């Protein structure tokens, strides 16, 4: 599979070897990133954004790439993350297929793609890689570390493993540990890919590609990224016009919501590498900030609290949405409570967005002011 790298992407070479948390090391690995705004003379106006599973580093339009990014209304001059004031960095996750080294990259030891020879990937590896980028850009301390979804995990890992690298933190629809409902959903997504005969134990190509498995995985993702409440209002029981239906297929698409899922799946399937998907998905299951508490016990919630309490930031904001079933708002509340216990001025902000886990991407009307107010107070 090819990688999917937006024009204007920049690259940072990681130290070689780059050791991986669960064992093994990468050689000649790199991290894709983009920036917005200007680093000031004091080098104290930098913000790092770490992302969910699928986005690239192109969070918004910039000089290198005028195309709109995945967080376009949130980031830019005069926007909630204001690039007139802040120097903003967004990194593509290590293990992704959008410029950073991952299972779809060439393995320099063999000259072939890594595929399943890529070492076990942890959220922590992505955090360490991002920390290298920050320091490599000459930044000793970030003004703020922002993480969305999986990036909320990456941000906590970075804060725990690199004390002092960020003064403040915004955690958006993130989690301090993976819980069984989310693990179950992700496990089923991975199973859909692995069951596709064309996955072929990771040895697919463009001709023979696990399209059905990726489509299933993406549809299940979209179901859990949005919410029943939003869909009731948006789709109800509306059916497709007869010219958009295949009457020969007795179980074919009939309702608008089925067509919506199909459209999402089609747009995703050939634009994300299946092996990268498997690795990033599994890394989330493994994540537990409780691994960073000093005296781990059988009390999982206690470990989580203790792990969070080991993090030192001045100020933090954890934002969640009541319709999010994948990273439910109790998890952001847990993050705010844990960081407060460590002495941070930490707030939990529940938002009444109907859009579920994806609300931070689309409900800028609610998320924008919340992020802007936090950053304005720094």
- Positions in the binding site for a copy of itself (CB under 8 A): 116, 120, 177-185, 187-188, 190-192, 194-195, 197, 212, 216, 219-220, 223, 227-228, 231-232, 234-237, 250-251, 253-258, 261, 278, 282, 285, 288, 300, 325, 328
358 is in an annotated binding site: yes
Q: How far is the CB of 330 from a copy of itself (least distance, A)?
A: 9
Is residue 24 left, alpha or beta, with left meaning phi > 0 and alpha meaning psi from -120 to 50? left
Q: From CA 12, how far away is CA 313, in angstroms rounded?
A: 26
84 is annotated as contributing to ligand binding: no
Which residue, 79 or 264, has its beta carbon nearer to a copy of itself? 264
Q: In terms of CB distance, is 72 or 258 closer to a copy of itself?
A: 258
Rounded to a whole number of angstroms, the minimum distance from the CB of residue 99 to a copy of itself is: 24
Question: How far apart, in whole angstroms, are the C-alpha atoms of residue 155 and residue 49?
Answer: 9
5: left (phi over 0), alpha (psi -120 to 50) or beta: beta
Comparison of 234 and 315: residue with beta carbon closer to a copy of itself: 234
Decide: 37 and 133 in contact? Cβ < 8 Å: no
Least separation in angstroms between CB 278 and a copy of itself: 6
Copy the structure tokens of residue 190. 């991975």
Q: Which is nearer to a copy of itself, 4 or 255 (CB)?
A: 255
For the beta sheet containing 30-36, the strands, ordered from the edge strand earlier in sequence to the opposite edge, are: 10-13, 30-36, 87-91, 46-50, 144-148, 168-172, 315-321, 345-351
Instruction: Enumerate the active-site residues.
Output: 149, 324, 357
Give the containing element (helix H, strand E) for 305: helix 300-309
CA–CA–CA angle 101, 105, 111 (5° rounding): 125
For the bound state, the minimum distance from the C-beta of residue 86 to a copy of itself, rounded and expressed in Å, comes to: 36
Binding site residues for substrate, as ranges? Answer: 218, 358
Binding site: what residues are annotated?
218, 358
């Amino acid at each position: 599979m090819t990688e999917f790298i937006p024009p204007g992407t920049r690259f940072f070479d990681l130290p070689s070897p780059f050791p991986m948390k669960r064992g093994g090391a990468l050689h000649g690995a790199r991290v894709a990133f983009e920036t917005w705004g200007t680093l000031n003379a004091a080098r104290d106006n930098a913000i790092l954004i770490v992302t969910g599973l699928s986005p690239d580093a192109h969070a918004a339009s910039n000089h290198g790439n005028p195309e709109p990014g995945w967080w376009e209304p949130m980031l830019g001059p005069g926007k909630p993350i204001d690039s007139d004031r802040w120097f903003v960095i967004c990194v593509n996750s290590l293990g992704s297929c959008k410029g950073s080294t991952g299972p779809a990259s060439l393995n320099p030891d063999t000259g072939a793609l890594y595929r399943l020879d890529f070492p076990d990937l942890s959220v922590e590896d992505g955090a360490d890689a991002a920390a290298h980028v920050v320091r490599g850009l000459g930044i000793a301390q970030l003004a703020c570390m922002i993480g969305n979804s999986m990036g909320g995990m990456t941000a906590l890992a970075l804060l725990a493993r690199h004390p002092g690298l960020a003064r403040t933190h915004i955690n958006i629809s993130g989690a301090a540990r993976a819980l069984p409902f989310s693990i179950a959903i992700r496990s089923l997504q991975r199973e859909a890919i692995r069951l596709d005969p064309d996955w072929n134990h990771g040895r697919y190509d463009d001709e023979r590609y696990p399209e059905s498995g990726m489509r299933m995985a993406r549809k299940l993702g979209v179901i859990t990224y949005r919410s029943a409440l939003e869909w009731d209002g948006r789709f109800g029981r509306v059916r497709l016009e007869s010219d958009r239906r295949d009457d020969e297929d007795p179980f074919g698409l009939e309702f608008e919501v089925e067509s919506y899922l199909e459209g999402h799946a089609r747009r995703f399937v050939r634009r994300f590498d299946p092996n990268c998907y498997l690795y990033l998905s599994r890394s989330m299951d493994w994540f537990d900030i409780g691994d960073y508490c000093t005296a781990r016990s059988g009390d999982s919630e206690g470990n989580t609290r203790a792990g969070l309490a080991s993090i030192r930031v001045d100020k933090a904001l954890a934002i969640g949405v009541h319709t999010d079933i994948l990273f439910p708002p109790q998890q952001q509340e847990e993050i705010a409570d844990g960081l407060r216990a460590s002495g941070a001025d930490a707030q939990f902000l529940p938002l009444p967005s109907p859009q579920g886990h994806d609300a931070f991407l689309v409900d800028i009307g609610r998320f924008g002011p919340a992020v802007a107010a936090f950053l304005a107070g720094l």
